[in-house]
Structure formats: C-alpha cells, structure tokens
Amino acid sequence: MTALNSHAFLASLGIKTPIIQAPMAGVQDYRLAAAVSNAGGLGSLPCAMLGPDALKAELEALNEATHGRPYNLNFFAHTPPNPDDQQEARWRQALAPYYKEFAIDPATISNGPGRMPFNDESAAIVEAFRPAVVSFHFGLPEPALLDRVRQAGAKILSTATTVEEAIWLEQHGADAVIAQGLEAGGHRGIFLTKDMTTQM
C-alpha cells in the first residue's frame, strides 16, 4: 500500500493513527476500545459474547467515553454447531480421570457464555448506534444483514486466513480484509477450509 493509499484508508475509517485494536472477547470491555479510539486509532468492541442488553449498555458507555470518535464493533459470522449429547458424553468420559484427580464435580462446570452469530437483533443495534466500522470473524453474514450494516454507514472489515478467503471476502462486500497469519493471537478466523497448508 502506498503512502497515499494508506492515508486514504485511514481517512475512510476516520482515524489518524494506523492502529486497529484487535477485539478480545471475554477479556476486554468498552474501556480498552475507548482508550484506543481516543488516542487516534480504531478501538474495537468484541460483541459475540454479549447479549443484546449487555451490548447496548457497553455501546452507551463507549459512545459517552469516545465523544464521537470512530470505533469498530466486531461480530462472529459463523453457524453455531448443533449440540451432540453423545459426543459430550464421550468427552466427559475421556476427562473423568482428570475430574477425579482434581476433585472436580463435572455437574458444577457451567457452559460459559455462548458466541452468538450476527443476526437481525445485532443488525438493529448497529442501525441504532451507527458505528464507523463493523468487522466480522469467520466470514460475513448473509447479504441482507450485510446490506443493513452498509446502510447504517459502517465500513465492513473481515478476517481472512487464506488468499482464497480474502478473495471471497472482497467479492462478497468487505471494504477491507484483515490478513490473519499463523502468528495471530487467540483463535483464527478460518471459514472456507480446514487445510492448514493453504493458510496465510
């Protein structure tokens, strides 16, 4: 990317500093996103583990803390797996020696927060709060939902782990692609293949 293109990209996001903070679901709230946005970068709020009420509360606090500066809302665009009771039973059986060793009653282990895919309710929240950027992990949502994001005025970013995914994202409406290599922290956003040899 040339310096001119780089400046144009920053301007399109409404930021001065070339930093897009990675959204970190489960370990951050609006305060980290606000700090990055207030420093001139693009703060990111992870939304996949937040229910609608919690997300609205975070966004109200983020809006108040950023005073109109741009920020990114990050969602997952995955299809949740169907629960498999037999597979769950096999996992619990395989882990039984460890439960016993550490005196853990498996019945006391909660499932933890789910990871919700982007849906109509998410789109309505985007429409209400009108963030500068909405990013996705694991592909993009269905076209009708993506159109709602675009109509709300947001730039659309998404993560690719392969060249094939990057091309797919560009062809399906992403304004920019986040290239995620093997050295990425946390989980990777694989969505078209499980073949590790083809990945960035």
Domain extent listing, the chain:
20-79+117-198
User: How distant, in Å, are the alpha carbons of 75, 169, 189 from that of 165?
Assistant: 17, 6, 10
CATH placement of domain 20-79+117-198: 3.20.20.70
State how far Cα 71 lies from the chain centre: 13
In the predicted model, is pLDDT for residue 50 greater than 90? Answer: yes
Percentage of residues in the chain having pLDDT higher than 90: 68
User: Best-predicted range by mean pLDDT among 48-52, 115-119, 139-143, 162-166?
Assistant: 139-143
Look up residue 180 and give its two tokens: 């995620």
pLDDT, position 135: 98
Mean pLDDT for the chain overall: 89
Q: Confidence band (pLDDT; 50, 70, 90) for 107? A: confident
In the predicted model, is pLDDT for residue 22 greater than 90? Answer: yes
Half-sphere exposure of 77 (CA within 13 A, CB side): 26
User: Best-predicted range by mean pLDDT among 2-6, 23-27, 121-125?
Assistant: 121-125
DSSP 41-81: SBEEEE-TT--HHHHHHHHHHHHHHHTT--EEEEEE-PPPP
Higher pLDDT, 196 or 93: 93
pLDDT, position 195: 56
In the predicted model, is pLDDT for residue 123 greater than 90? Answer: yes
pLDDT, position 192: 59
Q: Which residue has the tokens 């509360």?
A: 57
pLDDT, position 185: 64
Is residue 137 part of the annotated active site? The answer reads no
Which of 78, 137, 172, 187 is labelled catalytic?
187
Q: What is the mean pLDDT of residues 15-27?
A: 92
Q: What is the pLDDT of residues 140-187, one digit of tens each?
A: 999 999 999 999 999 999 999 889 999 999 999 999 999 887 776 666
Q: 103 by DSSP, 3-state: which?
A: coil
The type of residue at 134 is V
pLDDT, position 194: 55
149 within 8 A of 156, measured Cβ to Cβ: yes
pLDDT, position 3: 60
